[in-house]
Structure 1
Amino acid sequence: MFYNFDGGKLYYKVSGQDNKTSLVFLHGVAMDHITFESQIVELEKQYKIIVLDLPNHGKSSHLDHRLPYSKTCAHLVIKLLNHLNIDRAILIGQSLGSFIVSHAANLYPEKVIATVHIGGGGLYPKSSILLKAVVPFISPMIMLIPNKYMFKMFAKHKALQKQTQDYLEKSSAKTGKHVIIHLTKAMLLDMVEGISTPIEQPTLILYGDHEAGFVKKMNIKFNETLENSKLTIIKNAHHIANQDNPTDFTKELITFITDTTKEKLISQKKVNNSPDVIFSKNVEVMK
């Protein structure tokens, strides 16, 4: 199915149970809706599922490059929900999708029941303006890498399991260097611009235990800024944790959704890495 918007069309797919809680899945850079297949198979038994190809990806049109990407996509996601007559939904974003989820929750709090962030990061408080200094170097750095190495490197940098790497190598080659460059810059600028207030909805933050160090730090800080959040580390997984370890990821997601829909708000921050590790707000305590 396609949702038509000014200047293009957005590919989406709806499945699952019509009268149940709606879950919207938003993928990361150089991916598409297929990245959530393992979750869809399990969750569509109990929930209404909406997956889509973000602009510049898969079957969807390109977005005007002059528009702020994440914020514009947040508006599109809410317009799609309105088009589908969905009053409220839980938004689940991977990496770039996490930024879109943050904007949607901030701009349309009445439409968002809860948020889930996979290998993403918080947009509040905003990052240092010095991050802008990196932006001019993104394009020449990526363009110097030959295509036959570029997409394989991109996949190995973000995925641990071979099947995940194979998917990401194929999807990134289809998406292309220019889109990857544009969206990498857009994400950096997004972090500098930030959002005005912290997310208020119940929030689940996840990342793989093989995630890049700076992303781990971003997510720990993200968790610390929120009043109603939970931080969970997925074992044997990298940036695309939902594919690298779909069993553990989906289990954590279902638990969070079940608790949220039962209005069991998460009042104490914690990290589930193993039974032996507990994180308080600023201190790691080893039993």
Structure 2
Amino acid sequence: MGMVQVNGVSLYYEQYGKSLAEGKAVLVLIHGYLSSTFSFRRLVPYLEHDYTILSLDLPGFGKSEKSLTFVYSLHNYGKLVLGFLNRMGVKQAVLIGHSMGGQIALQSALQNHSMVKKVVGIACAGYMGPVKRSLVRLSYIPFFSRMLKFYFDKKDIAASFLEITNDRSLITKEMMEGYLKPMYALAFYKSLIRLIRHREGDLSSEKLKTIKQPVLLMWGDKDQIVPPHVGERFIQDIPRVEYKVFQGAGHLLPEERPEEIANRIRSFCLNNHGDD
């Protein structure tokens, strides 16, 4: 666990498993929207014995800086992940992204074909288009950050977790607190406003077709946030793709099926995909 400066912003990261000096394969975990490294806590134990694992909080989220100068576009997030790898001395890694983190991993893959060896997208966001202009205009209203905080404070949190998690037994006080804790500070909402303004549309079909790395996509068939049909569109666009659907699982696959996901990741990493 520590902080590191990358591209002018302070990033919080966690490291597990093998040391970087051992030269083992490196997995980089990238969380999704309104999330943090906390979302991978159930997945890490199934992978840390075989890999070096780096999990980071993206700017604006978790314990990373809530910067008011960082450009919160998906492209720049992808660039930041590459900068993080460079800062940590990692020459090549497998990027594993959940939801928005999957889209960021694909951005990184497009930007550097050698540093990003493979990509794993878990309920990977895509085909959503840019943020609505009406919401962007609203973001310029004075005290909009306080309005956002008020909205989230009043939101029925338990109902929200039921939407993203198919297994209700997982929804505990500890789980909800882990996800919600970073959202208590007003600074979080100020950076969220910048994400609303800066977030461009997701990668186009034309861009996705140029991804050279092998990509593994995993979905829950009950996902209400990023439905499986998004994965089916990815299959048509990404040249070297594997697709796995888990029955009876929702959007938070790292919470619901950590062991099964880890096994799939391990097999994907071991497969040379005709590269050797």
TM normalised by structure 2 equals 0.79
Residues 89-124 of structure 1: CA distance to partner in whole angstroms, max 9, x if unpaired? 00000011111101100111111111011111346x
- Work out the number of aligned pairs and report it: 259
Quick check: 1:231 aligned with 2:243? yes
Unaligned runs of 5+ in 2: none
Structure 1 residue aligned with 2:34: 30
Structure 2 residue aligned with 1:171: 179
Q: In 1, Cα distance between the equivalents of 2:229 and 2:190?
A: 26
Q: 1:151 aligns with which of 148, 157, 173?
A: 157
Amino acid at match of 2:161: A
> How far has the Cα of 1:165 moved from its partner?
6.3
- Report the more deviating stretch, 29-38 or 219-228: 29-38
Aligned pairs for 1:159-198 within 5 A: 159-161=165-167, 162-164=169-171, 166=173, 167-168=175-176, 170-172=178-180, 174-175=182-183, 178=189, 182=193, 185=196, 189-191=200-202, 196-198=207-209
> How far has the Cα of 1:13 moved from its partner?
2.0
Structure 1 residue aligned with 2:44: 40
> How far has the Cα of 1:188 moved from its partner?
6.5
Structure 1 residue aligned with 2:58: 54
- Report the more deviating stretch, 21-30 or 175-184: 175-184
Structure 2 residue aligned with 1:100: 104
1:226 and 1:138, CA in 2 relative to 1: closer, same or farther beyond 3 A?
farther
> How far has the Cα of 1:249 moved from its partner?
1.7
Structure 2 residue aligned with 1:280: none
Q: In 2, Cα distance between the equivalents of 1:59 and 1:128?
A: 28
1:28 and 1:96 in contact (8 A); partners too = yes
Structure 2 residue aligned with 1:109: 113
Q: In 2, Cα distance between the equivalents of 1:146 and 1:175?
A: 9
Aligned pairs for 1:136-147 within 5 A: 136=136, 145=151, 147=153
Q: 1:241 aligns with which of 234, 253, 263?
A: 253
Structure 2 residue aligned with 1:8: 9
Higher RCO (CA-CA < 8 Å; seq separation 6+): 2
> How far has the Cα of 1:218 moved from its partner?
1.5
Q: In 2, Cα distance between the equivalents of 1:30 and 1:117?
A: 17
1:2 and 1:12 in contact (8 A); partners too = yes
Once superposed, which parts of structure 1, at least 4 consecutive aligned residues long, lie more than 6 Å away?
A: 137-144, 192-195
1:205 and 1:232 in contact (8 A); partners too = yes
1:242 and 1:249 in contact (8 A); partners too = yes
Q: In 1, Cα distance between the equivalents of 2:39 and 2:226?
A: 23
Secondary structure of residue in 2 paired with 1:61? coil
Amino acid at match of 1:196: K
Q: In 2, Cα distance between the equivalents of 1:193 and 1:229?
A: 16
1:254 and 1:183, CA in 2 relative to 1: closer, same or farther beyond 3 A?
farther
Over aligned residue pairs, what C-alpha RMSD do you find?
Answer: 3.2
> How far has the Cα of 1:192 moved from its partner?
7.4
> How far has the Cα of 1:194 moved from its partner?
7.8
Q: In 2, Cα distance between the equivalents of 1:22 and 1:203?
A: 16
2:93 and 2:116 in contact (8 A); partners too = yes
1:255 and 1:172, CA in 2 relative to 1: closer, same or farther beyond 3 A?
same
Q: Work out the percentage of aligned pairs sharing the same amino acid.
A: 21
